[in-house]
Amino acid sequence: MVRTPGSDGGRVLIIAEAGVNHNGSPDMALKMVDAASEAGADVIKFQTFRAEALASSRAVKADYQISATGDGGSQLDMLRGYELSEGDHRAIIDRCAKRGIEFMSTPFDTESVDLLVSLGTARLKIPSGEITNWPLIWKIGGTGKPVIMSTGMSSVCEIRDALGVFLLGALRPEITPSKEEAEKVFASRDGQDYLRDNAVLLHCTTQYPAPLGEVNLRAMDALADEFHLPVGYSDHTEGIIVSIAAAARGAAVIEKHFTLDKNLPGPDHRASAALCELVEMVAGIRAVERALGEREKFPTKGETANRTVVRKSLTALKPIRAGETFTAENLGVKRPGDGIAPSEYWRYIGLASFRNYDEDERIEAQP
């Protein structure tokens, strides 16, 4: 059974994003599965595509891709080297099962959706770049699989439309998708119920690496307020601090690119976490989870044990004789907190002591 992020007491779903950092090598992909499992990630995610269906011969490389791979060749030429075959996928899925980590992938075309469904993939990822690709999103909705949707580069209106098209594929496949129909199903009761059980939104800044000044983690709150869905963060920053901060802000999912070697050739290695960083990130997120606790203020077990030591009690500042009046000169407040709480101080001022007290003796309750 697929766990819905945010459904089991706040445990963060940690996705180790392999992406295309296997460089088209099935052996390297398998090593990445092993590494992600050993690091403690819940999921390892790849990218499933046919290069010719993903990019035309006119598609140029992004600046970060040029920086990492050089300006020679087209985006299509680059992508051809990162395709994984059906056999490669089967081998990766088998390794994931053996290593106890969930396999997940992002399909970039409809045939890739069919492949992932035929392979039994539990859930699918909709990446930021496909948020306006309604035919693909509609196809994904029709699979009945839950989705995690990244929202980089997107407006709230585009996200709402994409969720509506996803719902049309899932709940109204007989209807020709349109903005109007997407809005209607999104606003419907069954649409909202379906989304709560089957969709997670990830805030994301689509730059590689993403500058800290453009991360805007508070957008997670805006997404949660707008859509009332579990919200997480897809991290493209350098280092791991922003991922841990997102977990502290209540992210249901953290997705982070990782690599076996930052110096490998390829478009994403330099902006990815090294293995040691991935291990540290997972440990940091799990520590944050433990520290977050519950939405309730109460004394913890450890605090209760410390009350007597660090709180104070009403105490005689000097010897007091039976019948003598408690005053500011003879009644004070000192540790330990094993007697009458100092909150009773003014109630005792002016009362007559019922017995003798030595200096520093704890005051007893008046009979």
Is 45 within 8 Å of 17 (Cβ atoms)? yes
Return the pLDDT at 1.
38
Q: At what angle do helices 275-292 and 26-39 cross, to 10 degrees?
A: 30
Mean pLDDT of 333-343: 97
In angstroms, the Cα distances linking 129 to 82, 84, 107 are 18, 20, 12
Confidence of residue 80 (pLDDT cuts 50, 70, 90): confident
Regarding the domain delimited by 13-292, which CATH topology (the fold level of the hierarchy) does it fall under? TIM Barrel (3.20.20)
Residue of 346, 331, 340 lying closest to 313 (CA atoms): 340
Confidence of residue 76 (pLDDT cuts 50, 70, 90): confident
Mean pLDDT of 89-104: 98
Distance between CA 28 and CA 302 in Å, rounded? Answer: 47
Average pLDDT, the chain: 93
- State what percent of residues in the chain have pLDDT above 70: 93
Return the pLDDT at 61.
55
Q: In sequence order, what are the beta bridge partners of 15?
A: 43, 255
Is pLDDT at 332 greater than 80 in this prediction?
yes
Strand segments, DSSP code E, in the chain are 13-19, 43-48, 102-107, 124-126, 147-150, 199-204, 231-235, 253-257, 313-316, 331-334
Cis peptide upstream of residue 265 (ω within 30 degrees of 0): no
CA angle 172, 230, 7 (to 5 degrees): 100
In angstroms, the Cα distances linking 271 to 17, 31, 311 are 12, 19, 51
Here the tokens at position 328 are 């500011």
Confidence of residue 58 (pLDDT cuts 50, 70, 90): confident
Reduce the secondary structure of 67-87 to three states and give it as a string: HHHCCCCCHHHHHHCCCCCHH
| Pairwise pLDDT comparison (155 vs 77), residue with the higher score | 155
- Give the burial class of 63: count Cβ atoms within 10 A of its Cβ; 0-12 exposed, 13-18 middle, 19 or more buried: exposed
Mean pLDDT of 310-322: 98
Confidence of residue 294 (pLDDT cuts 50, 70, 90): confident
Is pLDDT at 283 greater than 70 in this prediction?
yes
DSSP state of 5: T
Q: How many helices (H) and strands (E) does the chain have?
A: 15, 10
Q: Using CA atoms in the order 215, 216, 218, 223, what is the torsion angle rounded to 10 degrees?
A: -80
Mean pLDDT of 88-97: 98
Return the pLDDT at 303.
93
Where do the domains of the chain lie? 13-292, 301-348
Strand segments, DSSP code E, in 196-252 are 199-204, 231-235
